[in-house]
Structure formats: C-alpha cells, structure tokens
Amino acid sequence: MLGVADQHESPRPEPGPNLPEKSRTAEVVDAEVVDSEVVETDAPARPQQSADDAEFRQYQQFLEFQKFREWQQSQGGDVAVPPPAAPPAAKPQDPKKAWWKRALGLLRYKLVRRLIYLLLALLLLNYLYNSLMTSWFGSTGGDTGTGTGGIPADSVPMKARTPADAVLDVYNLLRGDDPTKTCALFDDTGKAGFASAHQAPDCATATRQLHEQITNPGPYANPDLEDNAVTIADQEAQVLGCRVHVTGGPRLGTFKLTKQPDGGWAISAYALQAESCGG
C-alpha cells in the first residue's frame, strides 16, 4: 500500500527558480510586510515641523486680532474707523487792541511827536492871542472911544485898555440882564463912591437901580464921547459925564480912573455932575 500510495502521489518538485523554497517563502512574506510599510510611509502626511509653523501663524494672527479688538473698543464702536488726522494747530492771534492803545503806539515815531508839539504850540499861541484881543478890544466896539459896539451884555467885565473904554463898559453892562457885573470895573474906593452918589447901600444895588431906569438898552449901551471928554495925566485919567451924550437911559456922572499894574484902567472914584460942564 505504501508503494501504491507512493506511486499515486505526485512527485515532490525540486527546488528551482519557479518554486521557491520555504526560506524563499519567508523572505517573500517579509518583503510584503516591508512593502506595506513602505506604502504607508509613502502616503501623504504633514511633517511635524509644518504643523508647528501653522499653529504659530494662527497664534500670531490671534494676537493681532486681539490687539485690533482692543483698539476698536477703545474707539467706542464695533466698526473700525481710522482715527482722523489732527488738524494743524491754529496760530494764536493777538486780540484786537483798543483804539487808544493803537494811538499811543504812534508816539514812538519822532515825526508824530513833533507834529503834536507843533499843534500844542499853535493852540497855546491862539489862546494867548484871543486873550489879548479880548482884553484890548473885546470890552468895547473898538479903540476909538466912540461907542460903536460895546461888549456883550452878559460877558464878564475886564479892566479896559483905555479910560474911555472903561466908561463905555459901564453903560454897556448896566443895560445887561445882570447889571451887578458893572462893579467889577471899579476898585473898592470907586465902588463906595458909586453907591454913595446914587444913594444905595452898595455898588450892586446902585447898578440895579440904574438898570431899571433904562428904556432903550441898544442906544444906551453906545453913548457918544466928545473929543475932550477924556483927560489923562500920567497914571490917572478923568472922563467928564457932561461930555458924554446918552440916549435910552440915565446919564452918569464923572469917572476918575487909575492905571493898574497889568496896564488896564480901573474906576477909582465917581461923582455926580451938572448937566452942563460950562465953559
């Protein structure tokens, strides 16, 4: 039986190139395993270093986003709006100076100061000129003694330049609204003599009494003096009332005048006189 069996069995192949041996089979198995590992190794996979770089970039982006959100919240809104550019600082302007300060600033110029000095000098000369003209001619209508005008009725009397002017001033002031101004033409002795001659307690009362007797103020303020009505001897003069022609009011008496240190004439005595001088 054993022999029969042996005849029906296929002869065991000899090892050859087409029939690998057991050891060859093991090597094939090992090769398949190695091949499998190689296939797995060749499969696409991220290197460890690339994953770290991606995470680092994500982390940097996260930090930038956090900073952006903090800045956005500090601006008070959810929409990011770039901060507006600051406008250029305006140049500070000096407040407008007052007009008097600007005027004072002109004084730093020498020409302006000279013009001001010249103007002040002209004003002073004009004032002095007017004062002299008033004292010489302002109290009468002129220097002829003929009574052509006279001073205003309410003006302040000044010492006359001539004895004739002094007498004309008396007539002119007596016709004014305030005849008591006439007393300024007298010195103390002349005031007493004038009051006594007109039977008045003082000069002011005498002037008011004479003022009430004036019927025509215009002509009364301009009496006519004869050529020989005035006599002058050194520092004294006399004006005879009888040689003074008066209309529109009472005729006055004779005046005695004394020249004052300032060159004017003041009435120092007064006396009534007859209507006619005689001779």
Residue 128 and residue 177 in one domain: no
Residue 144 and residue 261 in one domain: yes
Residue 159 and residue 262 in one domain: yes
Tens digits of residue pLDDT in 16-46 = 555 445 444 444 444 444 444 444 444 455 4
Tens digits of residue pLDDT in 67-89 = 877 877 777 655 545 555 555 66
Q: Which residue type, as a one-letter code, is found at position 169?
A: D
Residue 143 and residue 126 in one domain: no
Asked if the structure places residue 64 within a domain, the reply is: no
pLDDT given at position 135: 57
Residue 173 and residue 208 in one domain: yes
Angle between helices 203-212 and 188-197 (to 10 degrees): 50
Asked if the structure places residue 3 within a domain, the reply is: no
Q: What is the pTM assigned to this prediction? A: 0.45
What is the distance in angstroms between the CA of the first residue and the CA of the last residue of the chain?
Answer: 229
Residue 224 and residue 115 in one domain: no
Q: Residue 126: is its pLDDT beyond 90?
A: no
Q: Residue 226: is its pLDDT beyond 70?
A: yes
What average pLDDT does this structure show over 53-70?
81
Please, what is the Cα angle at 120 between 118 and 126, to 5 degrees? 105
Q: Give all strands (DSSP E) within the chain, no chain letters.
A: 224-225, 230-233, 236-239, 244-245, 254-259, 265-271
How is residue 160 written in tokens?
A: 């006359």
pLDDT given at position 167: 92
Residue 190 and residue 239 in one domain: yes
Q: Residue 7: is its pLDDT beyond 80?
A: no
Tens digits of residue pLDDT in 158-187 = 678 899 999 999 999 999 999 999 999 999
Residue whose C-alpha is closest to residue 181's, from 169, 189, 193, 190? 169
pLDDT given at position 77: 57
Residue 197 and residue 265 in one domain: yes
Q: What CA–CA distance (Å, rounded) separates 244 from 265?
A: 18
Q: How many domains does the chain have?
A: 2
Average model confidence (pLDDT) for the chain? 74
Domain ranges, residue 238: 139-271
| All residues at 6 or more sequence positions from 106 whose CB lies less than 8 Å from its CB, including other chains | 112
pLDDT grade, residue 98 (50/70/90)?
confident
More confident of the two residues 56 and 261: 261
